[in-house]
Structure 1
């Protein structure tokens, strides 16, 4: 009886905050940011041991901030997996973040094997992380994977065997994703980042007196609050609970599992690196050999054969990727992203970040924009897009960039029309050859007995034979004229520019098979026209080209949108031209149908009377199968259209049946929106241009031979709604 009284007295003596139900703590934890959720849940668990904080919050976002935390975390994850399998409950981890650049890679793989269902995986890989470890990690497909971020930092202070002599690179990890991972609709985000190589000269850290004083005041305030809380918060036994000075994730890992103690294991001491000194790997050479001592040495690289990224782009695992961040300093990545004809890389891409790579404002950028037609956000920070000419010609180059983006859609529509023309010629050639072979077999079968009568030629066959004979006669006359040529002077041209039309070269090549088979193709019966697509790009970031003032940034932005309006006017003009061709072709087809109907009626009327009917039909038959297509709008899914053959080039387009010129209204609306933004900025910009970088870049060698540092300029104000803001919401902790 006395013991019950003591228990009731101790319970009533607890502070009211210690008697809160667990649902209150769960409500508080739901509003904690993802980066601080694990520490906050652990702090509540330690300060309020009787609060029964749900274990779900401790495992929702597992974070490793020190390499020493991997061993206790592995034991806790193993016990948790055994308990889940024994009790048959469902427990998942919302994300795993490896913030430390150090740690045992084998222990990390063992830990991840205990956590198979991880939708978000972010890894920092330093010098102790081998390509074999990463290949082992991705050897088994993770069906629940949604986002994968890999950051590489293999730089060392001294040359070692592994980085310089073994010749092992991280290409094997990308190849493992290409070969082992199947198509997954949930896997939509991938980031492959190689950190900037270290520099020999580091910028000196700057500290202000105000910052130092505020930091000291903050630390003093935190210590005061911690000491006050430790003296006032009682535990369940009535003794105060001491708040920890720093809530590390290694303590969290020890407390995540059961109450059993984890046996202490010897951990190898970790030596903090001294940083890159720039003296190279031969510091043991004496002063007499100082002339032979290299001052620097080449740092190890991450990808030896960067084409592995292109092979991954064509793999099934990359089919549903919508966000791709690919940062490989000073490497040519854009040319690898261009797929050869007949194949496609990253077909669902809408966000592309290729910062710190090498990109130039030339044809290769236009080719990339033509291929990735669905990209809405393009980030190109520190890529040297303007080739060290940004200071003198930055505004002019921005105007060229603004006009290049809409013009890429114009070229895309023309390329599709050429592909359709080649497909039409090839299809008609196959049909003509098949018909000629059928006629030859019929003639051979009719005269096989020796006494059979020869079949009378139809008017179409007679016209084809006459055209073939005329072509043969014309070729014979040309050969005869060439044979009669005498001495040719040096000033006489040996070729003709009339036969070098690039637009007709592909069609002529497609029709060469018909000429080789001796088949004369008639006029085409199909005419498929493609409206040029409007630019889908909404943001573009070219930070790091030059340090700009506010006035210069506004000038670059104005010139960019001026070029955008010029390119948009070209697209609208070509769309109007396509519309005129479509209407003209429809009128000719209708006139042909009327004339053919009248000729048939006249022949029928004349056949009833005396004499022979004369059928008068126009000699040139226009196309009668006329169709108009457009590209799908952003957010619109176009179902593949069923064509005459499985390789129909119109697949993925949207066929429209216009009435009047309503299909041109969208081009006029886009032009009006661009003009409204240019006049009084009352309308949002058609494409947001940001000139403030969001990352550091590699040092480059300028035109005059001097090195251009890729740092600085990151303290500017970003444009509202730019691609950097989209990237921050996609990657890192904000994307959780």
Structure 2
């Protein structure tokens, strides 16, 4: 009778392919121990690495370095790594830098950045562009027990990390697709004792990232920094994140005067945005049905402002072009005509007889019109001086809108139902307004109607000689149109991830689960880290100043934001959760 030891390794590989990546490492290790004689492909242990302890960082670094030095005799497992997650807050940061240097081609990277890290450490990690990187997640927790002003005096902020990412070169095949930069929240009781260190001093680098080569290819972005107005910088300039479809700005602050204005501007700048998450936001989110109706209408009419801005740019270009042509005609009129040399006429023999009108040398007829050269149809169609140009607002691309309130501000079931209906009603009213705008433009014979091409389903490429102001727009007759479009209301979700009731003190207010203290306890480094530093120094590396950094917060663990780590504990969706919402999509993207 065949047994498990007779199964080929390919069968085990297929079995492991059905195990979630975050659980595969333990599954392979446990099965190899339970069936020591079976051909379990233990190489899959290296596919998805999760580091939970400082000792694991040291042993993994030592193992990879030994394999690399003896690469001729044995394979290098660092080449098998598809994702690496360092879930350790108190660790020798220099050791982590050296470990990540051994996996330069890893496609997925997650880092927990605590008080032992400095901006220089992240500079060393990202100083060389990682062209194979597809998903990058940086999670910051800079909070300490005692007040320290050394980071402020040294200017030790992680703004330089975003600037460094903005300088990376990219290609069509090698670029980051998903980026997550989050900072854990902290309890009010811990926060009011003294000002906690800042992870970021300014968010101007976000505006640089938005128009950088990396920003041109980003599809999913999660920026979660408590009470900071990051939304102002995400879409501050034209062509910001042109491929972005998913945005999570949880715990950030919305600028005044109201949410519909801030979110409407955001959707008008990010033309392809489909999923928006704003959980536990420090801003003026609506608290009544009329406010949610206004928000829905603003989401539907977000393309109107973008169309007006482009019309204004085109009109300025037309006026400037008209003035230049008028000035050129005036200059030609003032210049004296150049003398035209007379061609020598052939001398004809005179005929006999009388000379009369039949031999007159002056013609009273108009000269024959010169032959008209054929013009390029595309250039003539793009001539802005023919008629007044109007740009059709693009239909809304928003598919999901997710938000969760915190603490006593949690809405009741009746409020969630009323707000959802009000949002949908306002959204559909905005779509009806769009239809009326399109109808007026279609019926007008005095305007030339154009539309944006970046939201079209049909591919369209601008000509090389197209003026800059006309790039990204095309005539309705050339590329797609709005006829037959049917509006579809987005999915509204009021319930984010949270802990099971009884396991977390924040379970009743919709807050996510706190860090698992068994695997990510925050506290003094202890003797184990000192031993690690000594071991690394013996290998010729420079250890970090372990034991000299400020003690991290231990009495009230910070709360995760923007999604939970998979291993923290069992979670459930909060009340008001809707299937297919942005929260679920975010978990699929970032885990």
TM tier relative to shorter chain: 0.7 to 0.9
2:259 counterpart (361, 379, 387): 361
Matching residue of 2:393: 532
1:77 touches 1:115 (CA, 8 Å); kept in 2?
Answer: no
**Change over 3 Å in CA distance of 1:628–1:553 after alignment to 2:** same
Q: TM-score when scaled to structure 2?
A: 0.74
SS at 2:154's partner residue? Answer: coil
Aligned equivalent of 2:33, options 34, 42, 46: 46
Do 1:537 and 1:687's aligned partners in 2 also have CA atoms closer than 8 Å? yes
Call closer, same or farther: CA 1:438–1:73 in 2, change over 3 Å: same
Deviations 1:604-656 (A, max 9, x none): xxxxxxxxxxxxxxxxxxxxxx7432234757264343386532x23222433
- Would the alpha carbon gap of residues 34 and 524 (structure 1) be closer, same or farther in structure 2, given more than 3 Å must change? closer
Offset from partner CA, 1:472-523 (integer Å, 9 cap, x none): xxxxxxxxxxxxxxxxxxxxxxxxxxxxxxxxxxxxxxxxxxxxxxxxxxx9
The 1:55/1:655 distance shift into structure 2, 3 A limit, reads farther
Distance 1:644 1:147 in 2: 37
For structure 1, the residue ranges without an aligned partner over 5 or more in a row are 1-11, 201-275, 279-294, 448-522, 586-625, 671-684, 699-708
- Does the 8 Å contact 2:51/2:88 carry over to 1? yes
Equivalence for 1:67: 54
Question: Which whole-Å CA distance do the structure 2 matches of 1:86 and 1:313 have between them?
Answer: 46
Decide which of 68, 79, 86 is 1:81's aligned counterpart.
Answer: 68
Question: Going by fraction, where is helix more abundant, 1 or 2?
Answer: 1
CA contact 2:139–2:182 (8 Å) conserved in 1 = yes
* Residue of structure 1 in register with 2:184 after alignment: 195
Q: TM-score, normalised by structure 1?
A: 0.60
CA RMSD of aligned residues (A): 3.1
Structure 2 residue corresponding to 1:308, chosen from 188, 194, 205: 205
Distance 1:183 1:159, change over 3 A: farther
Change (3 A) 1:561 1:628: same
Q: How does 1:169-188 map to 2 (within 5 A)?
A: 169-182=157-170, 185=173, 186-188=175-177
Give the one of 558, 575, 585 matched to 2:421: 558
1:530-554 Cα deviation digits (max 9, x unpaired): 2221101111112217322222211
Correspondence for 1:350? 245
Change (3 A) 1:320 1:655: same
Question: Which SS does the other structure have where 1:317 is aligned?
Answer: coil
Q: Which whole-Å CA distance do the structure 2 matches of 1:414 and 1:728 have between them? A: 36
Among 347, 361, 370, which residue is 2:268 paired with? 370
- Distance in 1, matches of 2:327 and 2:73, equals 71
Number of residue-to-residue matches in the alignment:
475
Please tell me whether the aligned partners of residues 494 and 576 of structure 2 are also in contact (alpha carbons under 8 angstroms).
no
Is it true that 1:642 corresponds to 2:468 in the alignment?
Answer: no
The change in CA–CA distance for 1:715 and 1:525 in structure 2 (over 3 A counts) is closer
CA contact (8 A) 2:169 2:213 kept: yes
Aligned to 1:146: 134
Distance in 2 between the 1:184 and 1:82 partners?
34
Quick one: which of 98, 106, 114 aligns to 1:126?
A: 114
In the alignment, does 2:475 pair up with 1:655? yes
Specify which structure has the bigger relative contact order, considering alpha-carbon pairs within 8 angstroms and separated by 6 or more residues.
2
Q: What is residue 277 of structure 2 aligned with on the other side?
A: 379
Which residues of structure 2 form unaligned runs of 5+? 341-383, 499-509, 513-558, 562-570
CA distance in structure 2 between the aligned counterparts of 1:164 and 1:114, rounded to whole angstroms? 32
Return closer, same or farther for 1:529/1:180 CA change in 2, 3 Å cut-off: closer
Contact 2:493 2:576 in 1 (8 A): no
Following the alignment from structure 2 to structure 1, what is the Cα–Cα distance between the partners of residues 456 and 89? Answer: 39
Summarize deviations over 1:569-600 as a string: whole Å, max 9, x none: 1111111011111xx23xxxxxxxxxxxxxxx
SS at match of 1:318: coil
User: Map of 1:205-224 to 2, 5 A cutoff?
Assistant: none
What is the 5 A alignment of 1:408-557? Answer: 408-443=302-337, 524-544=385-405, 546-557=409-420
Q: Within 2, Cα distance between the matches of 1:60 and 1:722?
A: 30
For residue 71 of structure 1, report the CA deviation from its aligned partner: 0.8
Relative distance call for 1:189 and 1:663 in structure 2 (3 A) is closer
How many angstroms apart in 2 are the aligned matches of 1:30 and 1:18?
A: 19
Correspondence for 1:723 among 567, 576, 582: 582
Separation (CA, whole Å) in 2 of partners of 1:579 and 1:145: 47
For 2:474 and 2:467, the matched residues in 1 are separated by: 17
Distance 1:191 1:337, change over 3 A: same
Whether the aligned pair in 2 keeps the contact of 1:631 and 1:653 (CA below 8 Å) is yes
In 2, Cα distance between equivalents of 1:573 and 1:59: 58
Per-residue Cα deviation, 1:196-227 (whole angstroms, up to 9, x for no partner): 02432xxxxxxxxxxxxxxxxxxxxxxxxxxx
Cα separation, 1, equivalents of 2:100 and 2:464: 48
